[in-house]
Each structure stands twice: as C-alpha cells, then as structure tokens.
Chain A
C-alpha cells in the first residue's frame, strides 16, 4: 500500500498570503489528523477529520482551517500568513477500525512552509 502523501513538499510564501496544503491518506483510512512541527513549540495538534467532519481541534487561531472530502483526502488552509507560521506541517492517517484509541497514526513526509 502506498503511504500517506502530502503536496507540495516545499512552499515559500510571503506574509499576508494564504496557503493550501493537501494530504492523501493511506487507502482505506478514514481519519486524517494534522500537526505543526516547529523548533520552538515541537509537535502540536491542529485538527482531526473523520467522515468529512472535524472531530477535534487544537489551540490554533481561526486562520487555520481544514476540510475532508468524501474520498478521505484532506486539505488545510492558512490565511493571512505570519512569519511564525513557518513550520513543517504533518498529516497522519488512521484506519479507525474497532475503536480509534488503539489505532496507529501513520504520518506523511510533511510540507515545509516558509513564510518570508
């Protein structure tokens, strides 16, 4: 099976712009979660989607949003970019069979966003 794929892998934007990142989960996986990784804050949870519905949200401003499509692919959007949004954005998928708590989340390679 193909792993989690994320596009694009690298992105350079300027302050004030907006950006959309894409994530395709492992085939058959229905849950997608997004995380932000920075040197200062480490790995922080952004949000989780399951069956096209946001199920959980981390402590991020409303500029960060996401959605999930019927094929489980997910996008996240960041509007009005700030310098502090520069980070590695990781997507993870999970099968959610038999109760999500015990499932393993499998991560994609990430999208490296640089805001100038």
Chain B
C-alpha cells in the first residue's frame, strides 16, 4: 500500500526566507506525487505534481518541489516566503490503480502547518 509521511507538524519561517516542507513516500511502482495547500475553512488547492521527467517541478504561487528517488522524498520549497503562504500543506501520492482511464484515490500525509512571520 502507498503511504506518505510529513515528519513536521509545523514549520516556522520568517518572511523573505526560504522555506522547505518535507515529504517522504512509499510506493511499489512509479510514484505520482502531489502537493496541495489548505487555507482556513477552504478546500484543498492544487500546487504542483510530479509524474515523470525533471526532478524539479515548478508550481503555483512560486512553489516548487524536488523529487529525489533515492531518498524517496518530494520536498516542497519556495525561495522567499510570504506571510500569505501561512496555511496547511498536504503531500499526497496517487494510488496505483490497474484500471486506466479513471482517477484513482489519493493517499495524503498528515499535513504540515506553515507559519510565516514578519
């Protein structure tokens, strides 16, 4: 079974500093990995995904993620944090459904709360 681990419940960073939110995964086949962000009382907003290709994936709002197969990691990064980036971040892995043509379930990590302060 697929699994995702987010080892940090909370990450604190000062505005303007780089940020990293960590994620490690466990899958039996090719990993399809996603990052989502959740603001208070809102649903999940898609940030970026890794399917194949370049290990550095660029996404929305200046976020990027680095895929590392040997370390089974997919860390989310941003060069310069903003106070408005404060939110709950989820890493997720796509289930390896054998049936093509249908979207299969996402398995989520427990989430990391990012707090950016002035």
Contacts and interface: CB of A to CB of B under 8 A. Distances in A.
20 contacts: A31-B103, A33-B105, A43-B90, A43-B108, A43-B111, A45-B107, A55-B104, A56-B102, A56-B104, A56-B105, A92-B44, A96-B102, A96-B103, A100-B99, A100-B100, A102-B32, A104-B34, A107-B36, A108-B43, A110-B43
Dominant secondary structure of chain B at its interface with chain A: loop
A50 B111 contact: no
Contacts of A96: 101-103
Contacts of B45: 107
Interface residues of B, number: 29
A16 interface: no
Dominant secondary structure of chain A at its interface with chain B: strand
A99 interface: yes
Nearest to A9: B41
Given A55-B99, A56-B97, A100-B100, A45 B106 contact: yes
Contacts of B42: 109-110
